[in-house]
Structure 1
Amino acid sequence: MTQTKKVSGGHLPGRTDENARSAIDEKSLRILSNQFPNVSTTATEIINLQSILSLPKATEHFLSDIHGEYEQFAHVLKNGSGAVKRKIDEEFGNLLSEREKKELASLIYYPEERMRLICESGENMDDWYVVMINRLINVCKNAASKYTRSKVRKALPPDFAYVIEELITGRRDISNQEAYYNEIIDTVIRIGKAPELIIALSEVISRFIIDHLHIVGDLYDRGPGPHICMDILMKYHSVDIQWGNHDVVWMGAATGHLACIATVLRFSARYGNLDILEDGYGINLLPLFKFALETYRDDPCECFSLHYREGEYDLTNAMTDRKMHKAISVIQFKLEGRLIQDHPEFGMEDRLLLDKMDLEKGTITIDGVEYRLLDTNFPTIDPRDPYALSDKEKKLIEQLRRAFIKCDKLQEHVQFLYRNGSLYKTYNNNLLYHGCVPLDEDGSFREVELYGQKYKGKALYDALEQYLRKGYYAIDPAEKKKGMDLLWYTWISRNSPVFGKDKMATFERYFLEDKKLHEEPKNPYYKWINNNDTIDMILTEFGLDIKESRIINGHIPVESRKGESPVKCGGRLIIIDGGFSKAYQPKTGIAGYTLTYNSYGFLLAAHEPFKSVEYAVETGSDIHSDTILVQHVKKRKTVADTDIGKSIKENIRDLEALLDAYRTGLIVERA
């Protein structure tokens, strides 16, 4: 599709009176005429754009709370949450057996691995290539049918663009073309290019089946490969990201914010994932290793057990990692305490706990109640100034700060998050955000103060996002520091839309036995999301039509095991965090929800855990998914019904104004 520059004004087709012309910015029309210099080119573009509006709406794919589970993430992207299988069923129906359909789907997901397995089986490869290339062409042709030929051509890999275009646009049922068609395939096989063509076709199918990807927050923490997930996303053809709280704290760490750096390190240590930082990002953790062994040499660090996964963690590192875990946790509590003291406007004084400890008695007093501490060995804490870093801690955290700032790969990933991300997004009548819109108990928008100004609802999101961007990009040191501190605040504050809880009870979970103190009460938002008036209020606040729009939410794992439904308020709000992270699967009972939205409506799928790529290739198996929600639209959606369609309609109006200017002589045509 040609991208037409939008200009102001426009009119109804056929109007040529002076009032219509005078309402149009002549300067803008002259600029547009540089792209379309005469009646012919302008009329052709109008025809092109008008016809695009009638094409079916492309498929969107929604994922949330990936938490570093890169293998399952990669597989769900490859299978389009079942969209590939549906396309195969649509194309072949009963012409292929279920086994053949599985094998074809597996080939599309993992072409190289599948071909290697077939080759090892001793099958005649030339015959197999003929069959599979023809099947892939049929699926590819079906998947590409909802796009213009121009868009299809642009999406084809350069090495095989000509071949694939000929194969998917040719008419094999016409005798004049059958020999030509077959000769292309035969020649590809004869010259040894069949494997590359199969890989190219598989990638093109995946590209056409899912047109746009939405990540509704939390790519980082817990799982072993967030950096791999980021590498995958950076190669994806079309994606947007709504920042989650775990993304924001990594973004803060990339700015060099000390409390964010400590938090990222603590999470990585807690889940046995320090190799993400060392091997994935090349950040030197030797200073932390030496400091932890020296400071906590004889400390068993029993309160700092690791949440590692069986078979995926080297237990010989456990004791060392526990010491590193404790060392960075104490530093985190100190750094956070200083921030809270420096920013009384954050309203987080209740999280100042180090000064409430009595290490001689081994107790802490919270809200007038004394509790026994499970750990009292804090050699770096000065009771007179418990939030002060020791000299060695200062040196350590400064070394770590420099390492994070100078890490090119981390900076590249975070810049991608900033370029393609935001705190919320409105897209095709859907409102996407990770956590919540903070509410008070009565269901009204909560008013939050940020640096002397009060915000609520959409204004809170907008103000926070502006500061978060300043935290990374601002030149002015004072503005940059404000933004950096708000990156940490957004990660952890009760008033943050991406956190959505009354507190983060990290300290209590480490050091206090009373389970009631471990609770993290949710924002009242979660009590109100089944209320139609609340959904109307939120959608209206973000400028959306309450009859047509819905909210897509992540962040809070839906406890499917207990019968909880991700579908709230009759389908007007859908929570798609269902345990993509293995750490949550015992709680949720599934391995995540994903949502697709095509021209016929919404499909919400619940997935079982992904075993491995090897298992999928060898058995032709897929993630077992149950479609638990199907919402069909009354009328099949077309491009005209989308945000892109609105833009195209505006471009058509501008082009019609230009056409009118040519025909009335206001602007002179050029050859």
Structure 2
Amino acid sequence: MEKLEHKYLERLSELYPTIAKASTEIINLQSILNLPKGTEHFLTDIHGEYEAFSHVLKNGSGSVRRKINEVFGHTLNEQDKRFLATLIYYPKEKMELTKKTEDNMEDWYKITLYRLIEVCKRVASKYTRSKVRKALPPDFAYVIEELITEKPELNDKEAYYEQIIETIIAIGRAEVFIIALSELIQRLVVDHLHILGDIYDRGPGPHHIMDKLEEYHSLDIQWGNHDIVWMGAAAGQRSCIANVIRICARYANLDLLEDGYGINLLPLATFALTYYQEDPCECFKIKGGNTLNPAETVLNMKMHKAISIIQFKLEGQLLIRRKEFHMADRALLDDINYEEGSIRLYGKEYNLLDHAFPTVDPENPYELSKEEEEVMERLVSAFANCEKLQRHMQLLLKKGSLYKVYNNNLLYHGCVPLNEDGSFKEVEVYGRTYKGRELYDVLEAYVRKAFFALDQDEKQRGRDILWFIWSSPASPLFGKDKMATFERYFLAEKETHVENKNPYYRLLEDDSVVNNIFREFGIEGDCCHIINGHVPVHHTSGESPIKCGGKVLVIDGGFSKAYQKETGIAGYTLIYNSWGMILAAHEPFTSAEDAITRESDILSDSILVKRTSLRKTVGDTDNGHHLQESIDELKQLLKAYRNGQIIEKE
């Protein structure tokens, strides 16, 4: 036996000190391998829409309703199934409504508990008893386990279960028990959650989404460009801070910063009122569905313009300092003719829609004024010292990455930067060039350095790379030739607003390109997919989220209300269970109140992407491969025990 192998088996023997214990663990692990594969749930581009996100999480993109159908088939009518599903999503609220109309609540409790227990049995059936036990609410763990576990030794099972349920009702615990069962079903219906980026921006509730994700039992996050800019802001990168505040102002979400994260915007508001008091700021109107009163709107627009000008100055400073970003053409303030109110871009002269720049020195346009500098110092301190924001960013760092390979699927938010011929685009990062997977890896390393590096120069490189990932044409999370923020504010000519996409998006139907991406990320086999967010799928114009014969699934369909007129739906989500993949297209979500009172769900259409004839087991998954490795190691330990190479400890 090799010395290293022997040392490892000695360590393993400390965990399994006898033949009996090692054998028992092999049996346990082998049994897990034969269980059905757990359900994976994929969401992307949530953009702060907390209510819609929460509802989709509750219904598992239709998984709860599918389980109800499996259990009750034709024994319940559609109305009863819809009621039961709504009860599972919103148990407390639905029961309050029911009590207003139901004459005999005791019978209702009994019927409802029986139905919920049957659904619980079904959703728990694909897990080990140990895993189910860990998911049980502590107050009811024993009772629920009794109710959902088959007991062949009992002669009169019905009487046994009926006695438990009658006791629950008699002691006044039926409602809390129904809530516990409903939450357990929500917990067990999805084994693992994938968030493919863009939790932040546009919608009002990303902080609530992050709170929810902090409590979620099993998840990973692929960073989106909007998450990255918030990470940059939390790390103290000034251009990222300005972008975050500008976008909040643009979508009337400054309350998110002030109330959600406790970031004081009074210095910015005071500055904006001082320098833009008489400026109507017409180019800085609010977008999206959020409404403000007239006074709030006026102040919001002035703050919007003030932070935008600060942003353009800070980005110009950054691009002058970081020539290696090769984005000097995006430093635009020195292209303005301040006397004429025009700018020279793309070899052509354009008139500016707004040419009031009271804080810009034409001789040194990128220098912050004394007052702007003071505002930024206060903001940097506020972002750095916000405990809740820093906690949320730590979750993104702990659970997140730029890409993930999971069960033979490649998950990322944006694109793999490509050249026109489909080859991987070479990108310079601090003096070296990278492409394909290497590019992702080096960028992710720098993201982590922004938060954890001890060397201050490396830490600053990490902070600046966060802005680079946010807006560079070479970024895998942005994937366009420019971010035309300045043009959209200041120029009427629509041709200047165009942001051309990376060739990746045009080549998604090219089999050889997609296969090359699979090879680059070490993925092989027949059942593999790229699962992608970032660019909304235009459902109304007939665009399909399924590309390249099913190898690529683009699941951003417009969770954000700002996109829904364009996409025609409210987002795609994806379910990957033991039988295959189901893509769900969602209708716009109105409110939780509508869902409760009208029993409306937001699943509008399901598309079967792939169905297997043989049900997938845990043994077919990444976790299964790890378990098989553990089994093989334990078998080596058994052999060592039996050969006398290692002595039993007990």
The TM-score, its normalising length taken from structure 1, stands at 0.95
2:557 corresponds to which residue?
578
Report the secondary structure of 2:553's partner residue.
strand
- In the TM superposition, residue 151 of structure 1 has moved relative to its aligned partner by 0.8
Structure 1 residues without counterparts, runs of 5 or longer: 1-20
Residue equivalent to 2:267 = 287
Aligned to 1:296: 276
Q: Which residue of 2 aligns with 1:132?
A: 112
Deviation (angstroms), 1:178: 2.7
Match of 1:348 in 2: 327
| 1:59-458 equivalent positions in 2, closer than 5 A | 59-171=39-151, 175-309=155-289, 312-458=291-437
Alignment-derived partner of residue 13 in structure 1: none
CA deviations over 1:594-624 (Å, ceiling 9, x no partner): 0000011100011101111111111222114
Aligned to 1:628: 607
Contact 2:550 2:609 in 1 (8 A): no
Distance 1:185 1:546 in 2: 49
Q: Compute the displacement of 1:633 (Å).
A: 2.1
SS for the counterpart of 1:325 is helix
Q: CA–CA distance in 2 between the matches of 1:101 and 1:37?
A: 51
Q: Are 2:583 and 1:607 aligned?
A: no
Instruction: Write the distance in 2 (CA, Å) between the matches of 1:308 and 1:656.
Output: 60
Deviation at 1:192, TM superposition (A): 1.4
Letter in 1 for 2:326: G
- The structure-2 alpha-carbon separation of the partners of 1:443 and 1:389, relative to structure 1 and needing over 3 Å to count, comes to same
Q: Which residue of 2 aligns with 1:560?
A: 539
CA distance in 2 between partners of 1:629 and 1:358 (Å): 57
Residue identity opposite 1:269 in structure 2? A
d(CA) in 2 for partners of 1:26 and 1:526?
52
Equivalent position of 1:27 in the other structure: 7
Matching residue of 1:10: none
Counterpart residue identity of residue 60, structure 1: E
Q: CA contact under 8 A between 1:171 and 1:178: conserved in structure 2?
A: no
User: What is the CA-CA distance between 1:548 and the residue it aligns to?
Assistant: 2.5
| More displaced 10-residue stretch of structure 1: 476-485 or 178-187 | 178-187
Matched, 1:588 2:588: no
Does structure 1 conserve the Cα–Cα contact (< 8 Å) formed by 2:584 and 2:603? no
3-state SS in 1 of match to 2:377: helix
Q: What is the identity, as a one-letter code, of the residue corresponding to 1:338?
A: Q
Are positions 1:547 and 2:526 aligned together?
yes
Quote the Cα distance in structure 2 between the aligned partners of 1:639 and 1:263.
Answer: 44
Task: Determine if contact 1:172/1:178 at 8 Å carries over to the other structure.
Answer: no
With structure 2 as the length reference, what TM-score do the two structures score?
0.99
Give the equivalent residue in structure 1 for 2:17: 37
Counting aligned pairs with the same residue, the percent is: 60
Call closer, same or farther: CA 1:103–1:183 in 2, change over 3 Å: same
Q: CA deviation at 1:309?
A: 1.0
SS at match of 2:581: strand
3-state SS of 2:15 partner: coil
Q: Say if 2:196 and 2:221, in contact at 8 Å, map to a contact too.
A: yes
Distance of 1:289 and 1:620 partners within structure 2: 43
Report how far residue 173 of structure 1 moved: 11
The count of aligned residue pairs is 650
Work out whether 1:515 is the aligned partner of 2:494. yes
8 A contact 1:172–1:181 mirrored in 2: no
Deviates more, 1:314-323 or 1:34-43: 314-323
CA displacement at 1:154 relative to structure 2: 1.1
Question: Structure 2 counterpart of 1:483, which letter?
Answer: G
Q: CA deviation at 1:453?
A: 1.0
* Structure 2 residue 645 is the aligned partner of structure 1 residue 646: no
Amino acid at match of 2:536: P
Q: Deviations over 1:619-667 (max 9, x none)?
A: 2221142013431124221111100000001000000000001111111
Following the alignment from structure 2 to structure 1, what is the Cα–Cα distance between the partners of residues 335 and 429?
27
Q: Which amino acid aligns with 1:227?
A: H
Q: Report if the CA contact (8 A) 1:54-1:638 is conserved.
A: yes
Contact kept? 2:239, 2:315, Cα under 8 Å = yes
Say which is worse superposed, 331-340 or 624-633, in terms of deviation. 624-633
Q: Give, in whole Å, the separation in 1 of the partners of 2:304 and 2:544.
A: 36
Output the amino acid matched with 2:234: A
C-alpha displacement at 1:169, in angstroms?
0.4
Query: Are the equivalent residues in 2 in contact too, given 1:60–1:210 (CA < 8 A)?
Result: yes
Contact 2:202/2:288 (8 A) holds in 1: no
Whether the aligned pair in 1 keeps the contact of 2:557 and 2:572 (CA below 8 Å) is: yes
Deviation of 1:119 (Å):
1.4
* Letter in structure 2 aligned against 1:383: P
The residue that corresponds to 2:35 in the other structure is: 55
Partners of 2:487 and 2:549 in 1: CA distance: 37
Deviations 1:61-98 (A, max 9, x none): 00000000000000000000000000000000011111
Q: Deviations over 1:517-572 (max 9, x none)?
A: 00000001111110010111001000000533110000000111111111110110
Deviation at 1:123, TM superposition (A): 3.0
Residues 467-499 of structure 1: CA distance to partner in whole angstroms, max 9, x if unpaired? Answer: 000011112111100000000110000000000
Task: Tell me how far apart the structure 2 counterparts of residues 334 and 625 of structure 1 sit (CA, whole Å).
Answer: 46
Instruction: Indicate if the aligned counterparts of 1:418 and 1:469 stay in contact, CA closer than 8 A.
Output: yes
- CA root-mean-square deviation: 1.2
Q: Secondary structure at the match of 2:343?
A: strand
Letter aligned with residue 469 of structure 2: T
Q: Give the structure 2 partner of residue 463 of structure 1.
A: 442
Secondary structure of 2:606's aligned partner? strand
CA distance in 2, matches of 1:215, 1:313: 31
State the distance in 2 between where 1:33 and 1:172 align.
37
Q: How far is the alpha carbon of 1:122 from its aligned partner?
A: 4.2
Residue of structure 2 equivalent to 1:485: 464
The one-letter code of the counterpart of 2:212 is I
